[in-house]
Structure 1
Amino acid sequence: MKISASIIVRNEEENIAALCENLSWADEIVIVDSDSTDRTKEIALRYTDKVFNREFRGYKDKHEFADSQTTGDWIFWIDADERLNPELLESIERLRQRDSATLPDGFRIARLTEYQGRWIRHSGWYPDYQMRLYRKSASYWDGVAPHETARVRGSVETLTGEFLHYTKRNLSEHHRVLDEYTTLAAEHLFNNKKRIRSIDLFVLPIAAFIRTWLIKQGFRDGIPGLIIAMFTAYSVFLKFAKLWEKKRTEATVVE
């Protein structure tokens, strides 16, 4: 069972070394950059010679390219700010002792996120199962930007253990990522001719807050949970506000 680690990056000099060391068990590490302006490439080359640069055309395109450069029968994809915990490493090691032909085509793994100094176990952020280990020949990428994901055509099982997500060092970074992602989401809605009503800008953010804070028990995550709920509501508002703005701008151009 040859497993290739597949990673897409940009300006990850603070994370890439620790990630590659965490992936020392992998048969190969494939890293795809998109014109980093820091030392990401230089550091990555210390751990693997399979470092590529690709113009950014979307996350799906970048993931597909990364997977295409792997030589293993199996792919494990991971982001630069994620790490495998010991239990997950043991699960993968046990898996490698089994006959690959008898395995399902994919394995989903729970993701535990650290935010504002706290491990978030509610707020809709946990267990946040992700398809991360899959048979290359049975896989494809699907989903809506910026949350594309790997999928498989066959059966899927769950691996014991978690991968740890050290996300968004501060509120400014969280806001920057949210701004980027809501722009992509608004463009997707626009391309799919999604209608926008004024009530959407009011009701949907409130509903998102209630879902995150109450239904998903974000209140159990303390102040970080409240911040997550507020940001979730704001992201919904911003997504639809950007959609409205884009529709208005396009209408003005047509006129």
Structure 2
Amino acid sequence: MPVSACIITFNEADRIGDCLASLAFCDELVVVDSHSTDATVAIAEAAGARVLQRPFDGFRSQKQFAVEQARHDWVLCLDADERVDATLRASIEQARDGGFAQAAGYRFARLSDYFGRFLRHGNAYPDRVLRLFDRRRGGWRGKREVHEAASVDGAVVTLAGDLIHYPYRSLEQQLLKTQRYARMMAEHDFARGKRATLGKLILAPAWRFWRGYLLRGGFRDGWHGLVYAYVRANYVRQKTIMLWLLQNGQPVATPPPAQPRQG
């Protein structure tokens, strides 16, 4: 049963090589790039990937486009900052040898590196994601373009092994990324009619911190777990504040500069 690996990229020259190397067991490598300005495309092509260019219009849309370009119906979807570890590879190969007869899709744990330490507790792990599926029975569906998730019509089985994740190059990059995601989620929720309350403004960030850090054992990851819990709580705070502003008619992003009139 052949498998196509599908990856989306933009300026991932420092990470795409390791990602594709971990997918060497797949029968096809499909990379959908958003016009990178670094060596991403050259590295991907050198690794044997078929690279397609497409302007970025959302994470979900970009990933679904990649799935649709695959030559095989069974697809394995990764981000450039992810790698398949040896145990997960063995689990996928075993399922493939059995013709993927057990399910329409397979999920597995994602293990994230956080500034030199893998987080194994709290809200960070196991963070199971559905990434291997039959595109005839599922895909990247829905309207939400951020925090996107694949879904299938049929059974889903959990595989042993981890998807190794290197999400942040620096704390600055994480803060900028979470702020962008908070804005996108606030705009998505506002468009769907969801509204913030004073209670959520006050309690939601605190609940996110204490749930991850204490109830789910994030403290067991040392200072890494503490910083991670604080930053994730701040994401909830930003998202809720932005939703509050939107529902009160206030902008949450700097508007583009006005274009000079012609003539």
Q: What band does the TM-score fall into relative to the shorter chain?
A: over 0.9
Q: C-alpha separation between the residues in 2 aligned to 1:111 and 1:207?
A: 23
> Is residue 2–residue 72 contact of structure 1 (8 Å, CA) maintained in 2?
yes
Alignment of 1:176-255 (within 5 A): 176-249=176-249
Q: C-alpha separation between the residues in 1 aligned to 2:50 and 2:112?
A: 28
What is the match of residue 166 of structure 2?
166
What is the match of residue 119 of structure 1?
118
> Is residue 7–residue 77 contact of structure 2 (8 Å, CA) maintained in 1?
yes
What is the match of residue 4 of structure 1?
4
- The count of residues paired between Structure 1 and Structure 2 equals 250
Alignment of 1:67-86 (within 5 A): 67-86=67-86
Note the C-alpha offset of 1:49.
Answer: 5.1
Q: C-alpha separation between the residues in 1 aligned to 2:25 and 2:179?
A: 36
> Is residue 110–residue 162 contact of structure 1 (8 Å, CA) maintained in 2?
yes
What is the match of residue 110 of structure 1?
109
Note the C-alpha offset of 1:198.
Answer: 3.0
> Is residue 61–residue 145 contact of structure 2 (8 Å, CA) maintained in 1?
no
Q: C-alpha separation between the residues in 2 aligned to 1:56 and 1:208?
A: 31
Q: C-alpha separation between the residues in 2 aligned to 1:60 and 1:179?
A: 18
What is the match of residue 47 of structure 2?
47
Aligned to 1:201, the other structure's residue is in SS state helix
**Structure 2: which 5+ residue stretches go unaligned?**
252-263
Please give the per-residue CA displacement for 1:101-130, whole angstroms capped at 9, x wherever unaligned.
Answer: x33111111111111211111111111111
Note the C-alpha offset of 1:192.
Answer: 1.5
Note the C-alpha offset of 1:162.
Answer: 1.1
Q: Alignment RMSD, CA only?
A: 1.6
Q: Which amino acid aligns with 2:223?
A: I
Identity %: 38
**Structure 1: which 5+ residue stretches go unaligned?**
none
> Is residue 67–residue 139 contact of structure 2 (8 Å, CA) maintained in 1?
no
Please give the per-residue CA displacement for 1:204-244, whole angstroms capped at 9, x wherever unaligned.
Answer: 11111111111111111110111111111111110011122
> Is residue 123–residue 228 contact of structure 1 (8 Å, CA) maintained in 2?
no
